[in-house]
Amino acid sequence: MMFLTNDECRTWCAQYHQPIPDDGTANRMGNMRFDLAVSAANCYALSARLSESIGPRQTALLWVTADNIWPSSTNLHLYYKLRQAYGDRRLLARAPGHLFLDYEMPDLVSFIQVALLSGWDAHLFGDLGYGKLFVSHDSWVEVWRASKAELDLVATTLQQLKSVKVSDSPQAS
């Protein structure tokens, strides 16, 4: 696992042909938004399903783009102790990217869990381009996949948790 700066995240996204968050690039994938009811009891299972929802990959980039939105929900002590376990002592603001290799998926799930519980905004990309997602601090997630059939499968899988439902809110494209 590696931690990346914003510039390194942009370079990674360009290398793997992933639109950079908020760059205005039109997305060629279909998308679906889901409302989340995140709790400590369901957060690990939800995090695992979210990590799987972007499809096959050899590496995954979790890029935190907004933090400290809900300070009372954020356990920075837990986050930095987890980060220090990987030998990195930089602040989240200095290196908000978290790059995981294929065998580090349990680590990815843990960091998604911390982001969900902390109420952070984060993007998750896979290097093979099958899908991506955005987690909002406002308790929703948007998932992009290459086909409607893949999106429907993601929807079925996520909604099995009972804490996730397809959103009535308009979806970005």
Domain residue extents for the chain = 2-18+30-166
What span, in angstroms and rounded, lies between the C-alpha atoms of 135 and 119?
A: 9
- pLDDT value at residue 21: 67
Average pLDDT, the chain: 89
Q: Strand 121-126 relative to strand 59-66: parallel, antiparallel, unpaired? A: antiparallel
Whether pLDDT at 25 is above 50:
no
The pair of three-digit structure tokens given for residue 145, joined into one six-digit string: 């996949």
Instruction: Tell me the β-bridge partners of 60.
Output: 100, 126
What is the C-alpha separation between 80 and 56, in angstroms, rounded?
28
For residue 173, what pLDDT band results from cuts at 50, 70 and 90? very low
* Position 78 pLDDT exceeds 90: yes
Looking at the chain, the number of H-run helices and the number of E-run strands are: 5, 8
What kind and span of H or E run contains 112? Answer: helix 105-118
167 compared with 125, residue with greater pLDDT: 125
Residue 124 to residue 97: CA distance in whole angstroms: 10
Residues 6+ apart with CB under 8 A from 53: 131, 133, 143, 145, 154, 157, 158
Look at residue 28 in the predicted model and tell me its pLDDT.
54
In the structure encoding, which two tokens stand for residue 68, read together?
Answer: 């400290």
Amino acid (1-letter code) at residue 164: V
Tokens linked to 125:
């990309």
> pTM to 2 decimals?
0.91
